[in-house]
C-alpha cells in the first residue's frame, strides 16, 4: 500500500535522477517522452506489487527486455534503475513503518524487484543471443 500511496513521488524521483545521464535522456527523447514513460512506469510498478505473476505478466517483461535491447538500453542502466527504485521505496518505508514492519517490507520488496530483474534480464540475454545467431547465419 505504501508504494501505491507514494507512486507519484517514486516515479518523479526516478526520472529526475535520469536527467543526470545524457545518454539515457537521448534514448528517451529518441523513442518516447518522459511524460509517457512516467505513466508507463507507474503502471509497471503497480503491476509488480499486485501479487499476480501470470503469463501476461511474464510476456510484458519479455517485451520490455526486447524493447530495451532494440533501443540500445544496456542492462547496467536497467539494474541501476532498480537500485534507484529500491532506495526510493526504502526511504518511504523508513518514514512510515515500525522497525519490524520495515524489515518485513524490505524483504518483500527486494524479493519482488529481484524476480522482476531475473525475468527481464533473462529475456534480454535470450533475445540478444537470438539476434547474434541471426547475424552469424546471414
- The 10s digit of each residue's pLDDT in 71-117 is 988 899 889 999 999 999 999 999 999 999 999 999 999 999 999 99
- pLDDT score of 59: 96
CATH number 1.10.490.10 given to 2-137: yes
Q: How far is CA 40 from CA 22, 37, 96, 130, in A?
A: 21, 5, 26, 27
Enter the pTM of the model: 0.85
58-83 pLDDT tens trace? 999 999 999 999 998 889 988 999 99
What pLDDT sits at residue 47?
A: 93
Give the separation between CA 81 and CA 74, rounded to whole angstroms: 11
Ranges of each domain in the chain? 2-137
Amino acid at each position: 500500500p505504501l508504494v501505491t500511496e507514494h507512486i507519484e513521488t517514486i516515479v518523479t524521483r526516478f526520472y529526475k535522477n535520469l536527467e543526470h545521464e545524457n545518454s539515457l535522456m537521448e534514448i528517451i527523447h529518441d523513442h518516447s517522452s518522459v511524460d509517457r514513460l512516467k505513466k508507463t512506469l507507474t503502471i509497471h510498478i503497480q503491476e509488480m506489487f499486485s501479487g499476480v505473476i501470470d503469463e501476461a505478466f511474464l510476456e510484458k517483461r519479455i517485451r520490455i527486455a526486447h524493447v530495451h535491447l532494440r533501443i540500445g538500453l544496456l542492462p547496467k542502466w536497467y539494474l541501476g534503475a532498480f537500485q534507484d527504485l529500491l532506495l526510493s521505496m526504502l526511504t518511504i518505508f523508513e518514514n512510515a513503518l515500525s522497525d519490524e514492519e520495515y524489515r518485513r517490507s524490505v524483504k518483500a520488496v527486494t524479493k519482488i524487484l529481484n524476480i522482476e530483474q531475473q525475468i527481464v534480464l533473462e529475456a534480454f540475454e535470450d533475445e540478444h543471443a537470438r539476434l547474434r545467431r541471426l547475424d552469424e547465419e546471414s
